[in-house]
Amino acid sequence: MERNNLFPIFLKLESLETLIVGGGNVGLEKLTNILKNSPTAKISLVARTIHEPIRTLAAQHENVKLFERNFKLWDLWNKDLLILATDNRNLHETIRKFARTRRLLINVADTPDLCDFYLGSVVTKGNLKIGISTNGKSPTISKRIREYLEEALPEETNDLLDNMSKIREQIKGDFSQKVKILNEVTATWLKTEQA
């Protein structure tokens, strides 16, 4: 049976430098998704033509810098992540080749075979964040699962996390003892929620 071997991580994009190449609808989608999850992410976006919705969004985020011109090799300097969001596969392949020499992590929109990582669907309820991946097979399924979880998880989820954090701070003992006590607390909570 085939399995998803991706390793899930959550990045602090405010401490990394992200480059997006593409100023059209796909560039807008990528920029929007990043800023929805990391409003203070440091992003540079380069494109020959930058559509107005990108300009409007960038104007609301001081850490987003727009460069309306062709991509230049030095755009890769001092970057950590690269997102290619044009409709030109040849351009993507060329930029990717140079980016690999700089050891950047690369996402190429709608081209899983050129990606080092995927931008999955994300559910956020306060401090709880759940990432969903279909290994690049079906963004539609990821979206449907996200919608289901957003509806299923109560708005009070963040209150629960705050309360668990307070309980955790008060518990004495080693790690395994803390885990045992927190498991008992959550088991009690689940029983009361199901009743």
Domains and CATH numbers, the chain: 13-119 (3.40.50.720), 120-153 (3.30.160), 157-194 (no CATH)
Query: How many alpha carbons fall within 13 Å on the CB side of residue 92?
Result: 19
Neighbours of 182 (CB within 10 A): 14
What is the pLDDT tens value at each position of the chain, 195 positions in all?
Answer: 888 888 999 999 999 999 999 999 999 999 999 999 999 999 999 999 999 999 999 999 999 999 999 999 999 999 999 999 999 999 999 999 999 999 999 999 989 899 999 888 899 998 999 999 888 788 889 999 999 999 998 888 888 888 878 877 888 878 788 778 777 777 766 566 555
Residue 131 pairs with which residues in a beta bridge? 122
Predicted TM-score (pTM) of this structure? 0.85
Distance, CA of 140 to CA of 145 (rounded, Å): 9
Neighbours of 169 (CB within 10 A): 7
* C-alpha distance from residue 59 to each of 1, 32, 52 (Å): 47, 13, 11
DSSP 126: T
